[in-house]
Structure 1
Amino acid sequence: MKNLRNQATLLIIIIALFVQCREPEKTSTPDTNRPNVLIINVDDLGYGDVGAYGATMVKTNHIDRLASEGRRFTDFHTASAVCSPSRYALLTGEYPARIDLFGAMFLREPLKVDTSKMTIARVMKAAGYATAAIGKWHLGFGNERPVDWNKPLKPGPLELGFDYFFGVPVLNSHPPFVYVENHNVVDYDPEDPFVYGEKSETRWFQEKFGLSEIGGAKAAHYRFDDRDVGTTLKDKAIEYIKTPREEPFFLYLATTNIHHPFTPRPQFIGTSEAGRYGDFIHELDWMVGDILNALDEEGLTENTMVIFTSDNGGMLNQGGQDAYAAGHRQNGKLLGFKFDAWEGGHRVPFIVRWPGKVPAGTVSDELSSNVDLLATVAAVVGQEELAAKAPDSHNFLPAITGDPEKPIRDHLIIAANSKQHLSIRKGNWMYIPAQGGGGFTAPNVGDHTFGGPAAFPFTGQQNSDIEDGKIKEDAPPAQLYNLEEDPYQSRNVYNDHPEVVEELQQLLDQTMGR
């Protein structure tokens, strides 16, 4: 009997030692009070493309529901008026101008994000979250130029803190027209490789480009059906939301809606008063509705922070021109369009719903930016120390859940497509250190890149520097606007306030280390 007692005691000691040795391997304990975080980053959705922001020719009932159940921001901006640099800002919390990223990226370009850099996904992983990116990536893959699409596509999202990626590798208007899952092209067959310079077997749509830039990979191209991309990404997001897991999730969902080509599913064609542009918005709203329903069905709504925003303002492409001619105003009354330093290029919808934390049906005019999302979600999950590694990112959680007495941001840097138009906002002042918008400037109605001063006769917009579709000879060399007095930038007051111009130019140079 004594022998048995000794053996039992020894067994207990061994088990205790084993448990003690194993304890340090635990990374984080699931905490049911931590919210899931879902960021819906829409493509090219303008300030005036949503009912809650004044749209009347399109119906966005589900997006409007988010606004009625959460908080809508009226002075939220993207750090760039262009898609790739805007996404860089959101994911890294760094101004894209710091790495000389101003324009869009295409199929040959490698990963633009340094894999050693802090990212929003790494912040969430450090807090014990499952992380996923679904949708449009548009930040490159691998380390070599041109990208070899026949090899594993890494580094990529998985090397930046995401556990899972599924989506469109570049964008829906440019090749390759395939899906990528984690490191691999979906349905890739090594017996039928990608070939640069060959025509791809993919459907043609108006404002879909580069069909002859890379071909081969027939099965992979066949999987990509333009009219089904929105549904595919939506369904993948719902599948991810419904996957059983112990830890909370962080999902970055980047839709291809409403970027050209405008390819809604058949049931949405002709449903809006704004042509195919508006029909694509209707499909987007349906996608958002299905995702919100999935949260409801899984009992996750009360403990999920939903953030809805756009990567830049609405574009005056061919579909956008048709919508504008029909009476729709994709950026409301704001001056300019996607790619511009003017407000229409970068002031975008931003809505947050977080039941019990964010007051429902409220509005904030706090100056904020998508570059601030890293620091803000870091504050949500208690990872402020990691956010300090992204100094351009400011925590505006106090403006999401409350009403700060003082502005959170002193100033904000905003980039256009043109490097010369790298601008600064401070208080009510907006300073653009060059003439024009800094975006597209094609001269003719019907041009895909129609924009700039040449578009003013078409849009009816007004600006004191522009007459008959051209910049006046005596226009100031740069632009200054008081947005409190002139929110639609109709009068350039550069010559009236030389002291403000000097202050803002110095602050811009100081901030950018010039």
Structure 2
Amino acid sequence: MMRLLLLLFALCPSLFAAEHPNIVLILADDLGYGDVGCYGATKVKTPNIDKLASEGRRFTDAHSASAVCTPSRYALLTGEYPFRKNLWGPVMNPSPLVVDASKPTLPSMLKRQGYSTACFGKWHLGFGDRPKPDWNADLKPGPLECGFDHYFGIPVVNSHPPFVWVEDHRVVGLDPADPLKYGGKAQTRMFPEKMFAPAMSSAKAAHALYNEEEHGATLTEKAVNWMRGHADGPFFVYFATPHIHHPFTPGAKFKGSSEAGAYGDFIQEFDWMVGEMMRTLDELKLRENTLVILTSDNGGMLNQGGQQAWKAGHRLNGDLLGFKFDAWEGGHRVPFIARWPGMIEAGSVSDQLICQIDLLSTFATLTGSDTRGPDSLDVLPALLGQPEKPLRTELVLAPHKKTHLALRDGPWLYIGARGGGGFNANKPGEHGLGGGGALKFTGETNSDFLNGKLNPDAPDQQLYNLADDPRQTTNVIREHPEIAKRMAQRLAAIQQ
């Protein structure tokens, strides 16, 4: 039956485009490959996400285009590799909009196809067209200029200022007599791993509405209410949660609910949020006509909360090497689940190589649009069926350091430098624990390192056969120099 549906779609996509499905895209923040039950987690319980997987398709080789938040979100919305924009790290306050709003984006394409579009949660792509946005005026261009009809969420990230809500173009609760001022200390609560300097001072009214421990409940309420108001569809919801980025601030009923500390508690609140979104679709009788995709902007991070979870026996990224920011698999191989009852086979698993950068072209095909992202491929056949051949044969993967730009080619992964290309703090307890220090802490092995330190005779570049060595224990570049050379040349050609 599934093969027949896929064949019909390939022959006549207009049959499907005539009645567009609703699309709910849930993008978690820093949710690692091993952070949910259906991907192997045992110290946290994620019944709603596991149910989503049992009702749809779980991908085992899906990736964010970058191991860092802002670049991966840029790629998802634009269908363009972030290195082409010279995006390698997160943009912090203040920053102008990094997306060229004059070019097609995922929401603007869907809007042209008749969709109502909304974004709830973390934006983290900048505001305005000046180096420093005026937080006391209209914040535009922003999400609305990128194609969303409505936006409500946190403008940057939950660990950094300005610690306010933004709705459409304005800071929520802003009092002209008490404006936001950059610098000083914001009137918000202190949490572990929350970065306060520099911060927004003054604006007590706006800060008073911002309660980190209510993020989950607030964003979920906003999203489900918007869906109820647009039930006649079609609609596109981009639910970009601050979960599970640090600081870990779960609501009261989730505190102490997991076996992995606050890190795990935050995951379990995220799972509840997913459940509320799915229950709303059922309530509105939209389950059968809604494509739901759940994924993460990059891999799990071995910050202080991540280290505590690891000590409790929770493996953030499963058996993958590395963490957020790394070119290693743990930095960018992420959970990816797709559900569309009657169209996607329930309980199925796919090992197709796909990337979030592909969503723009995939959704375009789904809705009958001829828009395509510069680096985006249509992977709809991987969602609806089980293609016999790979749809994507190569993929560029960006870590935090541009020196470590990586290329995937079939089972091969080439990295153009030593190490992971992410954080490199050495001491447990440090926020930026990574590289050799992380390997020593976790007990993971990599042939280029010995007891947490880079071997002096380690090759200058790296090559791994992920089919034979998914944990990346052995750099085989000296055994296959011809493959590494070919991939280095191909990577250079793609960059040019």
With normalisation by structure 2, the TM-score equals 0.96
Residue in 1 that maps onto 2:365: 379
Equivalent residue in structure 1 for 2:460, among 477, 483, 486? 477
Residue correspondence of structure 1 range 128-139 to structure 2 within 5 A: 128-139=114-125
Residue 338 of structure 1 aligns with an amino acid whose one-letter code is K
Residue in 1 that maps onto 2:445: 462
**Distance across 1 between alignment mates of 2:393 and 2:329:** 18
**Distance across 1 between alignment mates of 2:310 and 2:98:** 34
CA contact (8 A) 1:316 1:450 kept: yes
Residue in 2 that maps onto 1:487: 470
Residue 59 of structure 2 aligns with an amino acid whose one-letter code is F
Residue in 2 that maps onto 1:6: none
Structure 1 residues 244 and 367, CA gap change in structure 2 (3 angstroms) = closer
**Distance across 2 between alignment mates of 1:138 and 1:435:** 29
**Distance across 1 between alignment mates of 2:166 and 2:414:** 40
Residue in 2 that maps onto 1:507: 490
CA contact (8 A) 2:231 2:284 kept: no
Deviation of 1:246 (Å): 4.0
% identical equivalent positions: 57
Deviation of 1:469 (Å): 1.1
3-state DSSP of counterpart to 2:118: strand
Structure (1 or 2) with the larger CA radius of gyration: 1
3-state DSSP of counterpart to 1:386: coil
Structure 1 residues 32 and 291, CA gap change in structure 2 (3 angstroms) = farther
**Distance across 1 between alignment mates of 2:163 and 2:21:** 35
Residue in 2 that maps onto 1:191: 177
Deviation of 1:198 (Å): 2.1
- Asked if 1:410 corresponds to 2:393, the answer is yes
Deviation of 1:244 (Å): 4.0
> What stretches of structure 1 move > 3 A for 4+ residues in a row?
244-247
3-state DSSP of counterpart to 1:49: coil
CA contact (8 A) 1:177 1:221 kept: yes
Residue 333 of structure 2 aligns with an amino acid whose one-letter code is R
3-state DSSP of counterpart to 2:386: coil
Please list the CA deviations of residues 231-272 of structure 1 after superposition, one character each: whole Å capped at 9, or x if unmatched: 111111101111045441011110000000000011111111
CA contact (8 A) 2:293 2:336 kept: yes
Residue 135 of structure 2 aligns with an amino acid whose one-letter code is W
Residue 466 of structure 2 aligns with an amino acid whose one-letter code is L
**Distance across 1 between alignment mates of 2:26 and 2:123:** 13
Residue correspondence of structure 1 range 22-37 to structure 2 within 5 A: 33-37=19-23
Deviation of 1:122 (Å): 1.1
Equivalent residue in structure 2 for 1:65, among 51, 54, 63? 51
Deviation of 1:95 (Å): 0.3
**Distance across 2 between alignment mates of 1:340 and 1:211:** 26
Deviation of 1:115 (Å): 1.3
Residue in 1 that maps onto 2:281: 295
- Asked if 1:401 corresponds to 2:375, the answer is no
CA contact (8 A) 2:183 2:197 kept: no
**Distance across 2 between alignment mates of 1:212 and 1:96:** 27
Deviation of 1:211 (Å): 5.0
Equivalent residue in structure 2 for 1:358, among 324, 344, 347? 344
Residue in 2 that maps onto 1:44: 30
Residue in 1 that maps onto 2:261: 275
Equivalent residue in structure 2 for 1:87, among 61, 65, 73? 73
Residue in 1 that maps onto 2:7: none
Residue in 2 that maps onto 1:176: 162
**Distance across 1 between alignment mates of 2:206 and 2:87:** 30
CA contact (8 A) 1:47 1:53 kept: yes
Residue in 1 that maps onto 2:108: 122
**Distance across 2 between alignment mates of 1:262 and 1:147:** 28
Please list the CA deviations of residues 168-198 of structure 1 after superposition, one character each: whole Å capped at 9, or x if unmatched: 0001110110000000000111111111112
Deviation of 1:210 (Å): 2.1
With normalisation by structure 1, the TM-score equals 0.92
3-state DSSP of counterpart to 2:357: helix
3-state DSSP of counterpart to 2:140: coil
**Distance across 1 between alignment mates of 2:292 and 2:470:** 28
Residue in 2 that maps onto 1:266: 252
CA contact (8 A) 1:132 1:163 kept: yes
3-state DSSP of counterpart to 1:306: strand
Deviation of 1:212 (Å): 4.5
Residue in 2 that maps onto 1:329: 315
Q: How many equivalent pairs are there?
A: 481
